């Protein structure tokens, strides 16, 4: 398909009828699509086949996802409305309409969230001897301990703020736990404003273990909020507290950093990180028992309306309860542990990564296979006197990691180490700033990518002297260089010394660190230059094959599909007769199963124990058939980021990935099918079918 012609595409279905594929009826709103994904995560907390603590963790993940949803997605929509910059998206909806629909969906979802917590998970935890005790459940010994803990550990650092002209409403940090307190009487200075705010100390844990000797049966905990509410009178000596209610403000956390207008991105980013904690309010969560007058007061303080108010039946800072899972030693309540496997070529502890990579390409699939070979490659490079230079992109890795240690060792050993760090990796900005400082102090060259384009590519290039020649070794991946993520995210990872791929990666690093026109690369597709047009070309080639009567098949597995031209190309391919299977974890703006448009397209989402994160593009009639990528099929990835899409050249490895995709496509347990109306239905085994969970199959197949 010619990309320029896709702006006004029509397809004839009969001599009299035309379908305008640009019509908004063929697109699903991206924000509503993301909300649908969050709801699928919430459903995992009700899956009785999962261990109890895993279900509890899914509930906390849903809460964390919703925090980010408000901080970024809804905040962005509110900005459009506030500044009269509303634009109609491809689905035909205006931001105000989307906000209204989402507000209703979120209120129902949060009500369900607290129902699951209070009526399902906490009672089940209780039956399994894990208890979070409210004040009414404390015996005398626990009550005495709680009083001492409050006086010794909480009261010395808590700062109640009485509201009066000298003490205006405080500037409270994003997502912090706070209490609004109503008071009667006068204080020592004669003040009687009747109201105070009590911020919970951020340095204290939100969940506190009760000493075992006080509760001998099982594991028992108390919430910091319960301690404060119970002893709130102690903070207002001589006055009477008539009410104490939790609340939490969620703020706009998107950074307002116009990289084109600053001289030093790192310095500007440090300033923006501070302001993130105090962005505009987008949500008020408050105890459902809080009186209307106090709620109205809080709404006025933050310039919010009833649409942004969420009354909750439980802790307002629910995500902080995630720590419960790490405070328990209860393997019976968790998934059984597993050991990621290592390919047989790499199992010898003395094996040279370079020797193996010269002989053949190595493909890893996390978390079923280990991240260790990537660390080993960098460690060996650091110690090898023949290694001359290392170039690497880092998006999320953590300031303290074995990857970073190996880079630091290499730089200190005098090797040419160049690291492209993306400072604007959302919510990892501060850690990446620290990482940049560490590397620079060790002697590495650190750059921050390209102004206006996030560097999202995952690439490592090692140059080694071998005899009289220099040979390049490359790693390319679909996920970040983060060993923790590699235990919970599914990703592909390719180790190769292919000369063309290595040369292409070298050219991309030249573009990132230097200046000049984009060089022609042979086998890789890169955003923002060639990735989108090549995906469109491959989709069109598959459509043309179908028109010629050939078998044609496209499989795309990504985290999100929102790019309009890609969607239009897929509609055209479907109309041409191509069988299209899309495995889209989160947002999907394509509407499958529409007669005459997308009858040949199926969309499924896999939500399970691991976060599906690998990006794979398969085209039956292409050569090679399979590409893996750092990029999702989104406008930002294809046009506004530096991304790498790499071919799988080995026929053996292509067959392996194709088999993996087939496992996902036959999942009838953890997969959700997108309907043409935008809703998802959970797939279940048929009458004569066995239960097939893709992640469980891969775990059994690949892990040790």
| Active-site amino acid positions | 456
Query: Distance from CA of residue 685 to its chain's centroid?
Result: 29
For β-strands 680-682 and 219-223, DSSP reports them as: unpaired
DSSP secondary structure string for all residues of 208-226:
EEPPTTT--SSEEEEEHHH
Which residues are bridge partners to 418 per DSSP? 391, 445
Q: Which residues of 126-145 are buried (b: 16+ CB within 10 A; e: fewer)?
A: eeeebbbbeeeebeeebeeb
The residues, ordered by sequence, that sit 6+ positions from 44 with a Cβ below 8 Å of its Cβ are 50, 55, 58, 607, 608
Whether the bond between 339 and the residue before it is cis, its omega within 30 degrees of 0, is no
Element (H, E) at 272: helix 265-276
> Is residue 602 a contact partner of residue 583, using CB atoms and an 8 Å limit?
no
Length of the chain as a residue count? 704
Phi then psi dihedrals of residue 551, to 5 deg:
-65, 135
Question: In Å, what is the CA distance from 402 to each residue of 371, 373, 379, 415?
Answer: 11, 12, 9, 18
Q: How far apart are CA 94 and CA 399, in angstroms?
A: 41
HSE, CB side, 13 Å, CA atoms: give it for residue 506.
15
What 134-142 contacts at long range (C-beta under 8 Å, 24+ apart), as own/partner pairs, is 134/226, 135/226, 135/229, 135/230, 138/222, 139/214, 141/214, 142/210, 142/214, 142/215, 142/220, 142/222
**Residues 357/359/364/370 CA torsion (nearest 10 deg):** -60
Tell me the torsion sign for CA atoms 506, 512, 516, 517: positive
Among 665, 671, 587, smallest CA distance to 72 is for 587
Residues 6+ apart with CB under 8 A from 675: 592, 593, 681
The DSSP-derived string for 588-649 is B-B-TT-TTTSTTEEEEEE-SSSEE--EEEEETTSSS-EEEES--BSHHHHHSEEEEEEE--
Count the Cβ atoms, other than its own, within 10 Å of residue 517. 6
Alpha helices, DSSP H, located in 499-563: 499-513, 531-547
Place of tokens 């990666």: 505
**Using an 8 Å Cβ cutoff, are 236 and 196 in contact?**
yes
- What gap in Å lies between CA 310 and CA 69, rounded to an integer? 15
> Residue 20 belongs to what H/E stretch?
strand 18-20
Contact (CB, 8 A) for 614 and 368: no
Beta-carbon contacts of 78 under 8 Å, excluding residues fewer than 6 positions away, are 95, 99, 252, 280, 282
- Using an 8 Å Cβ cutoff, are 146 and 214 in contact? no
Tell me the C-alpha distance between 653 and 628, whole Å.
12
What is the DSSP-derived secondary structure letter of residue 355? H
Using CA atoms, how far apart are residues 600 and 616, in angstroms rounded to an integer?
19
């Amino acid at each position: 398909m010619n990309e320029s012609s896709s702006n006004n595409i029509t397809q004839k279905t009969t001599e009299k009828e035309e379908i305008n594929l640009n019509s908004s009826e063929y697109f699903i709103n991206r924000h509503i699509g993301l909300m649908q994904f969050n709801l699928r995560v919430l459903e995992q907390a009700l899956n009785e086949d999962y261990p109890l603590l895993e279900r509890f963790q899914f509930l906390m993940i849903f809460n964390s996802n919703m925090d980010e949803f408000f901080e970024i997605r809804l905040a962005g929509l509110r900005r459009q409305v506030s500044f009269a910059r509303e634009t109609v998206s491809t689905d035909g909806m205006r931001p105000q309409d989307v906000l209204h629909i989402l507000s209703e969906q979120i209120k129902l979802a949060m009500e369900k969230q607290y129902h699951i917590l209070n009526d399902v998970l906490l009672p089940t935890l209780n039956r399994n001897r894990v208890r979070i005790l409210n004040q009414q459940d404390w015996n005398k010994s626990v009550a005495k301990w709680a009083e001492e803990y409050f006086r010794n550990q909480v009261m010395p650092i808590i700062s109640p703020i009485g509201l009066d002209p000298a003490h205006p409403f405080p500037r409270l940090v994003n997502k912090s736990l706070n209490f609004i307190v109503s008071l009667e009487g006068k204080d020592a200075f004669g003040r009687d404003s009747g109201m105070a705010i009590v911020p919970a100390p951020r340095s204290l844990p939100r969940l506190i273990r009760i000493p075992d000797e006080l509760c001998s049966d099982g594991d028992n905990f108390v919430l910091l909020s319960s301690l404060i509410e119970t002893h709130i009178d102690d903070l207002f000596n001589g006055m009477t507290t008539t009410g104490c209610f939790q609340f939490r403000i969620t703020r706009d956390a998107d950074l307002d950093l116009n990289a084109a207008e600053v001289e030093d991105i790192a310095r500007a980013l440090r300033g923006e990180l501070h302001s993130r904690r105090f962005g505009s309010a987008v949500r008020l969560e408050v105890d459902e028992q809080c009186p209307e007058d106090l709620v109205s007061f809080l709404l006025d303080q933050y310039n919010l309306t009833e649409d942004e108010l969420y009354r909750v039946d439980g802790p307002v800072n629910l995500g902080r309860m995630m720590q419960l899972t790490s405070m328990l030693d209860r393997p019976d309540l968790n998934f059984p542990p597993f050991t990621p496997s290592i390919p047989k070529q790499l199992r010898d502890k003395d094996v040279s990564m370079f020797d193996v990579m010269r002989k053949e390409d190595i493909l890893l699939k996390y978390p079923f296979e280990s991240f260790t070979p990537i660390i080993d490659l960098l460690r060996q490079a650091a110690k090898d006197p023949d290694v001359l230079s290392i170039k690497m992109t880092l998006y999320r890795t953590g300031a303290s990691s074995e990857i970073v240690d190996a880079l630091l060792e290499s730089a200190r050993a005098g090797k040419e180490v160049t690291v492209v760090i993306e400072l604007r990796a959302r919510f990892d900005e501060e850690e990446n700033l620290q990482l940049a400082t560490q590397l620079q102090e060790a002697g590495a060259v650190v750059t921050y990518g390209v102004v206006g384009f996030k560097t999202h590519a995952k690439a490592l290039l090692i140059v080694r002297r071998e005899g009289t020649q220099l040979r390049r070794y490359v790693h390319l991946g679909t996920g970040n260089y983060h060993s923790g993520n590699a235990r919970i995210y599914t990703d592909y990872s390719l180790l190769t010394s292919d000369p063309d791929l290595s040369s292409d990666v070298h050219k991309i690093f030249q573009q990132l660190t230097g200046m000049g026109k984009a060089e022609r690369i042979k086998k890789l597709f890169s955003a923002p230059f060639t990735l989108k047009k090549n995906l469109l070309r491959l989709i069109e080639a598959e459509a043309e094959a179908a028109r010629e009567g050939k078998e044609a098949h496209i499989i795309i597995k990504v985290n999100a599909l929102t790019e309009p031209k890609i969607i239009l190309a897929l509609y055209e391919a479907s109309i041409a007769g191509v069988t299209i299977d899309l495995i889209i974890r989160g947002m999907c703006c394509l509407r499958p199963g529409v007669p005459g448009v997308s009858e040949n397209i199926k969309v499924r989402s896999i939500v399970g124990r691991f976060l599906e994160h690998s990006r794979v593009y398969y085209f039956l009639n292409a050569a090679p058939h399979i590409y893996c990528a750092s990029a999702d099929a989104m406008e930002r990835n294809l046009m506004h980021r530096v991304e790498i899409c790499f071919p799988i050249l080995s026929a053996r490895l292509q067959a392996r990935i194709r088999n993996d995709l087939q496992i996902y496509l036959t999942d009838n347990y953890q997969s959700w099918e997108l309907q043409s109306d935008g809703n998802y239905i959970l797939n279940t085994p048929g009458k004569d079918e066995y239960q097939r969970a893709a992640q469980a199959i891969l775990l059994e197949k690949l892990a040790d």
